[in-house]
Amino acid sequence: MTTDGTVEADTAAGAPEPTPEQLSSPRGAPLTSLSWTDVQTRVAEAGDFLLATTGPDGRPHVVPVLAVWLEGAVYFATFRHSRKARNVARNNGCVVTVPGHDVDLVLEGTAELVRNAARLREVADLFPAKYPWWSPFVRGGEFYDPGDTGLNDPRHVYGVEPARVFAFGKEAGFSATRWRF
């Protein structure tokens, strides 16, 4: 991902798929049945996301977030002075978890602040289809809620391009797969 929050050309849709790997433990755990395309589809269609960040004292902070998938990255919005925004400002390493009925997905990466107006508009356009009750608009490199007529509560938008993705199957016992980028 570039510094303005756009995804580099070689990581966008047309890039070669990462190869699935078995995790080192537990021994003998089979791969999940998901392909990389399946993973991307599940993330794009998911409605539930959990974001894990680290506080200044090293303690984890996990919260649900509204998020969308666009060109190889998860994008979420948060108030600029929220705990997660403060945590990301100090340490942008984070984890986004996507729970599922048969497989849980875990995406490890770094959260990058998105300021590019065109990318922000693309991201904003995806939210109402997934969350019909929220249609953010872009102004000054941030998201605003339509009800915020005084422009008092801006939200930062972050993109997380995964460095590693894990799929943990729940069907008929344990299965696990890892993709590295």
8 A C-beta contact, residue 174 and residue 166: no
pLDDT score at 2: 61
Tokens of 7: 């995804």
Q: What is the pLDDT of residues 123-138, one digit of tens each?
A: 999 999 999 999 999 9
Q: Where are the domains of the chain?
A: 9-180
pLDDT score at 171: 72
Q: What is the pLDDT of residues 22-76, one digit of tens each?
A: 765 556 666 778 889 999 999 999 999 999 999 999 999 999 999 999 999 999 9
Query: How would residue 11 be classed by pLDDT, with cut points 50, 70 and 90?
Result: very low
8 A C-beta contact, residue 136 and residue 66: no
Q: Which of 91, 46, 65, 53 is nearest to 155 (CA)?
A: 65
Q: How far is CA 177 from the centre of its chain?
A: 18
pLDDT score at 176: 85
CATH 3.10.20.30 fits 9-180, yes or no: no
| Spatial distance between the Cα atoms of 160 and 162, rounded to a whole number of angstroms | 6
